[in-house]
DNA sequence: TTGTAATATGACAAAATTACTCTCAATTGG
DNA sequence: CCAATTGAGAGTAATTTTGTCATATTACAA
């Protein structure tokens, strides 16, 4: 009942990319290092984000990847489903996955409702907001740490 | 991002048990056959439901398992968490699982909210209702099938 | 008190999935 | 052509899931 590393890394990468102006170009190796993602693994994940139309990649010298659509039009759900396929809480919720009880199973209905709710939640925020919040909170957190350090130093004197 | 078979089987077994009066005693083998659950596997799952206080088991002749608390006080979430541990959508949501970004990561907040929502959903129905709906829908579905069969037969004549 | 009927437990094993790595191909700009 | 960059496919190691099996434990009843 958990996100895989693939999804986690995709989210991290996208948050990172969305923290910069939309036309910035990034190298995969750079994203990998800055976000503690295994380089080779990220190279398998980025193409998925390209195929789903979130990113655009160009090979060769001066190549790299960049946002294909604005961060304000991207939701976490889109990212997760790009790399992990459609979210489903139970095998019986996958279309075409045969479940003989589908017609009458009362739990099936509950799964369906829950799944819908999850999708709603993961679509309720867009990447521009999340990325922005992230940098703000990051800065505030480290500023606070720095302040505390200085206070402790002062108290010692 | 899916329920395991352990959770699925636990739910099936509990729905089955909750479809009978609360003081009924069941044998694991019987539950396994009726619900298409591998017998040996179910024997690993049932004790978990006992340990969490949903079921009560007695060994020996005339032994078996039965509900320890009324079906109306049991939610699907309780069953799932009994056998799979606490639901968590991401490693970083597990208590004690270290996540260095926890303090500022904006996605962390979204995960937390989503997780809460899921727990709410899976606690919104109780097993007495689900089990009852299940038998009703099951009967209705099979009655309908039978009716259709007879109609087709009549049309042929 | 002994046999039989039931669950409990722990070690083990097979299968599936996840999380990668590595090599080579394709593309682009200079 | 060369260097820089992504793409794709095969392969692999680690982990998790999904069980099995043998043995222990317990309870009743003759």
Q: What would the pLDDT profile of B55-90 be if each residue is shown by its tens digit? A: 999 999 999 999 999 999 999 999 999 999 999 998
Query: CA-to-C1' distance for A72 and C28, Å?
Result: 30
Task: Give residue numbers, 37 to 96 of B, with CB < 7 Å from strand C.
Answer: 43-44, 46-47, 50, 57-65
A2·B3 Cβ contact <8 A = no
Rg (chain B; Cα; Å): 20
B106·A130 Cβ contact <8 A = yes
Residue in chain B nearest A130 by alpha carbon: B106
- pLDDT value of residue A13: 97
Judged against a pLDDT cut of 70, whether residue B23 lies above it is answered with: yes
Helix, strand or coil, per DSSP, at residue B103: coil
Arch. (CATH architecture) of A5-85+126-156: Orthogonal Bundle (1.10)
Structural contact between residues A34 and A16, judged by C-beta atoms closer than 8 angstroms: yes
Tens of pLDDT, residue by residue, chain A (157 residues): 899 999 999 999 999 999 999 999 999 999 999 999 999 999 999 999 999 999 999 999 999 999 999 999 999 999 999 999 999 998 888 765 656 666 778 888 899 999 999 999 999 999 999 999 999 988 888 888 778 878 877 887 7
pTM of the model: 0.91
- pLDDT value of residue A149: 77
Domain boundaries, chain B: 5-85+126-156
Concatenating the DSSP letter of every residue in B51-98 gives HTTSEEEE-STT-EEEESS-GGG--HHHHHHHHH-S--SSGGGSTTS-
B89·A15 Cβ contact <8 A = no
State residue A60 phi and psi, 5-degree precision: 80, 175
CB-proximal positions of chain C, under 7 Å = 3-11, 18-22, 26-30
**pLDDT digit string, tens, across residues B89-140:** 988 887 656 676 667 788 888 999 999 999 999 999 999 999 999 999 888 8
Task: List C-alpha distances in Å: A111 to A9, A71, A84, A102, A142.
Answer: 27, 30, 19, 11, 41
Chain pair A-B, CB pairs under 8 angstroms: 101
Pinpoint the alpha helices (H) of chain A: 5-18, 28-34, 39-51, 76-84, 106-122, 127-156
State residue B117 phi and psi, 5-degree precision: -60, -45
- pLDDT value of residue A131: 96
Task: List C-alpha distances in Å: B19 to A59, B26, B69, B71, B104.
Answer: 61, 12, 14, 9, 47
Judged against a pLDDT cut of 80, whether residue B16 lies above it is answered with: yes
């Amino acid at each position: 009942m958990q996100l895989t590393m693939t999804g986690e890394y995709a989210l991290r990468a996208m948050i990172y990319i969305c923290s910069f102006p939309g036309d910035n170009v990034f190298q995969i190796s750079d994203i990998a290092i800055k976000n503690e993602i295994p380089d080779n693994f990220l190279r398998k994940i980025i193409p998925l984000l390209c195929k789903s139309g979130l990113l655009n990649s160009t090979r060769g010298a001066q190549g790299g990847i960049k946002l294909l659509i604005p961060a304000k039009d991207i939701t976490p759900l889109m990212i997760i489903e790009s790399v992990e396929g459609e979210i489903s809480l139970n095998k019986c919720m996958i279309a075409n996955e045969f479940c003989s009880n589908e017609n009458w199973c009362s739990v099936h209905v509950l799964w369906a409702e829950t799944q819908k709710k999850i999708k709603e939640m993961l679509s309720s925020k867009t990447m521009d907001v999340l990325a922005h919040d992230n940098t703000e909170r990051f800065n505030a957190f480290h500023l606070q740490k720095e302040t505390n350090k200085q206070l402790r130093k002062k108290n010692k004197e």
